[in-house]
């Protein structure tokens, strides 16, 4: 065991570390040499023989989301130490932290602190209807009260009325709930648009599947336009036999499970789930994961964002595969069901997720504001007001402001000159995913006093704060996570 334990005497021997080997990945990419031919897998891609080119080369796995709770306030120091306990007080010079291991509280200069994580607590009951996105990348959940052409007036979790100058804002992203675009529970009667394309299909016992001989390849298709961010939920039989499989294809371009043109596919033979992608009828094995236990039926959920290329697959509520395609499919026309045997499907629900992301700077024209609607329309010009559920925008082709219902607006990007933040300041991360940059003046009686370059002096309930980062290089992963989620987050 020599070299495995490392101890430190700083801060009165508060802790030691046990160095362990990282756990293996929770799912794996499938290299060329380990491809397995499953029934109905299709042809090998013509580029499979190219050196250093694996089927998963276009797919980058994302790390599994961390679910470990923070059990105590924890200060991470620049020298690698960390001290856990309760943060009792903080000023702009030091923090006072009480540890169970010491008779007195530890006074730590902030210049030695990298970041502070706060004990897990319940989130604020505040419900937002939009997110204010700042020029420096900060994001703040708001209830929009109005805009006068110069300042946004909004309610936040820590104030009933904050004013944010236009020069500090990149824009506003509005929250929209996912919309169901297809649903079938197969309880009775019609099976809601699915048509058999191979063999006979029907409803039996409230479940949809092939009829007759069990030893044949059967398929059915649903014509449905799919683009943007789409979420698929379904239940299907998963018999523990490798000779049989169940397939769910989405974003397919043709109504043929063996020649779908281009498509994504979830395939389950027994206790293993595979993610495939088909391009011009050439199927590519992308990733796979072992399932935890034998079950005759499982619930699946796929979250597919064709803009970012992100796909997340859950089985019975547990995320098993997550990654990003560098060249995602833009749209599809069909959803396909296929089985080799007599497996059946149930409770299929498909949702269009109305995520709101700001368009790229400059898309609306030099210095102009850009309003994007939920149906994809865009208006460029100058937004002159937001009031009483209406947004007014002056365009080059209208003699007076055009009124747009706010409920029809997906996002608003502000043009014009911006005031950039040059000074590196601490970053405050909220439990709801928000981020606010500012100077920490004090922490007293569970209230943070923060001086924000965007909002001025504000007071924030410490229960709403997940962490404070004093040195940005220590939070690269936090910033990457934030950039991937630059817009509205689900509650």
Average pLDDT, stretch 397-406? 88
Fold of 73-124+423-484: SH3 type barrels. (2.30.30)
**pLDDT tens profile 59-108:** 888 766 555 677 889 999 999 898 899 999 998 888 999 988 878 888 99
**pLDDT tens profile 411-462:** 899 988 887 766 788 999 898 888 899 999 999 888 999 999 989 999 999 9
- pLDDT recorded at residue 354: 63
**pLDDT tens profile 345-354:** 999 999 987 6
DSSP 347-374: EEEEEE-----PPPTTTT-TT-EEEEET
Residue 52: how many other CB atoms lie within 10 Å: 6
In this structure, whether the domain defined by 179-352 belongs to CATH 2.60.120.560 is answered with: yes
- For 16-20, 315-319, 356-360, which range has the lowest pLDDT when averaged over its residues? 16-20
433 near 489, Cβ under 8 Å? yes
Residue 41 CA to its chain's centroid (Å): 30
pTM here? 0.58
Per cent of the chain over pLDDT 70 is 76
- Residue of 404, 363, 479 whose CA lies nearest to 174: 404
Question: Is the pLDDT confidence value at 490 over 50?
Answer: no
- pLDDT recorded at residue 20: 29
| Residue 414 DSSP SS3 | coil
- pLDDT recorded at residue 241: 59
- pLDDT recorded at residue 393: 94
Residue 263: how many other CB atoms lie within 10 Å: 26
- pLDDT recorded at residue 8: 35
Token couple for 450: 């923060």
Query: Which of 11-15, 172-176, 452-456 has the highest average model confidence (pLDDT)?
Result: 452-456
Reported confidence tier of residue 167, pLDDT bands at 50, 70, 90: very high
Task: Name 107's Cβ contacts closer than 8 Å, sequence gap at least 6.
Answer: 94, 95, 96
Reported confidence tier of residue 56, pLDDT bands at 50, 70, 90: low
Domains in the chain: boundaries: 73-124+423-484, 179-352
DSSP 196-243: EEES-EEEETTEEEE-S-SSSEEEEEEEEEEESEEEEEEEEE--S-TT
Residue 468: how many other CB atoms lie within 10 Å: 25
Reported confidence tier of residue 213, pLDDT bands at 50, 70, 90: low
Q: Which residues pair with 135 in a beta bridge?
A: none
- Residue of 422, 437, 420, 440 whose CA lies nearest to 479: 437
**pLDDT tens profile 113-150:** 999 999 887 767 788 888 898 988 888 999 999 999 99
Token couple for 148: 């006068």
- Residue of 169, 171, 170, 141 whose CA lies nearest to 156: 141
- pLDDT recorded at residue 188: 59
100 near 449, Cβ under 8 Å? no
Token couple for 201: 């299909």
Q: How far is CA 338 from CA 109, 188, 239, 428, in A?
A: 63, 21, 14, 49
CA atoms of 273 and 302, how far apart (whole Å): 12
- pLDDT recorded at residue 327: 87
- pLDDT recorded at residue 143: 93
Chain position carrying tokens 């370059």: 453
Query: Which of 42-46, 332-336, 430-434 has the highest average model confidence (pLDDT)?
Result: 332-336
| Residue 138 DSSP SS3 | coil
Q: How far is CA 19 from CA 23, 136, 242, 475, in A?
A: 12, 37, 39, 22
Q: Which residues pair with 210 in a beta bridge?
A: 201
Token couple for 153: 């007036």
Q: Which residues pair with 313 in a beta bridge?
A: 302, 321
């Amino acid at each position: 065991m020599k070299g495995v334990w490392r101890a430190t005497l700083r801060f009165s021997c508060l802790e030691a570390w046990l160095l362990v080997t990282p756990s293996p990945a929770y799912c794996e990419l499938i290299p060329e040499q380990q491809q397995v031919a499953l029934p109905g897998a299709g042809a090998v891609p013509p580029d499979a023989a190219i050196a250093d080119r694996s089927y998963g080369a276009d797919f980058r796995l994302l790390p599994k989301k961390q679910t470990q709770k923070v059990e105590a306030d924890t200060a991470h120091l620049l020298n690698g130490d960390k001290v856990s306990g309760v943060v009792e007080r903080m000023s702009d010079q030091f923090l006072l932290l009480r540890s169970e291991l010491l008779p007195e509280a530890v006074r730590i200069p902030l210049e030695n602190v990298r970041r502070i994580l706060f004990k897990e607590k319940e989130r604020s009951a505040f419900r937002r209807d939009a997110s204010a996105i700042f020029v420096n990348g900060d994001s703040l959940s708001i209830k929009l009260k109005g805009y006068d052409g110069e300042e946004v007036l909004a309610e936040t979790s820590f104030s009933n009325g904050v004013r944010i100058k236009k020069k500090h804002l990149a824009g506003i992203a509005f929250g929209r709930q996912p919309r169901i675009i297809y649903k079938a529970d197969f309880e009775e009667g019609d099976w809601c648009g699915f048509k058999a394309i191979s063999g006979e299909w029907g409803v039996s016992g409230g479940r949809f599947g092939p009829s007759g001989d069990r030893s044949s390849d059967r398929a059915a298709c649903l014509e449905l336009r799919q683009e943007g961010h789409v979420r698929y939920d379904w239940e299907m039989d998963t018999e523990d036999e490798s000779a049989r499989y169940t397939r769910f294809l989405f974003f397919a371009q043709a109504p043929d499970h063996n020649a779908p043109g281009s498509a994504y596919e979830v395939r389950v033979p027994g206790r293993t789930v595979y993610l495939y992608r088909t391009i011009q009828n050439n199927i590519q094995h992308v990733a796979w994961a072992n399932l935890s236990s034998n079950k005759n039926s499982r619930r699946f959920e796929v979250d597919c964002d064709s803009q970012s290329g992100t796909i997340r697959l859950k089985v019975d509520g547990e995320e098993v595969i997550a990654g990003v395609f560098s060249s995602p499919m833009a749209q599809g026309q069909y959803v396909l069901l296929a089985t080799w045997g007599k497996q059946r499907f149930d409770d299929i629900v498909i949702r269009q997720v109305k995520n709101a992301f700001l368009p790229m700077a400059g898309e609306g024209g030099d210095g102009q504001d850009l309003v994007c609607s939920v149906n994809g329309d865009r208006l460029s010009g100058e937004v002159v007001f937001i009031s009483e559920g209406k947004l007014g925008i002056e365009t080059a082709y209208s003699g007076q402001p055009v009124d747009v219902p706010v409920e029809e607006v997906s996002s608003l990007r502000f043009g014009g000159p911006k005031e950039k933040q040059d000074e590196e300041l601490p970053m405050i991360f909220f439990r709801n995913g928000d981020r606010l940059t500012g100077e920490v003046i004090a922490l007293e009686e569970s209230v943070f006093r923060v001086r924000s370059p965007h909002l001025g002096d504000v007071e924030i309930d410490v229960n709403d704060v997940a962490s404070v980062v004093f040195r940005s290089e220590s939070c690269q992963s936090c910033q990457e996570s934030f950039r991937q989620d630059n817009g509205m987050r689900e509650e």
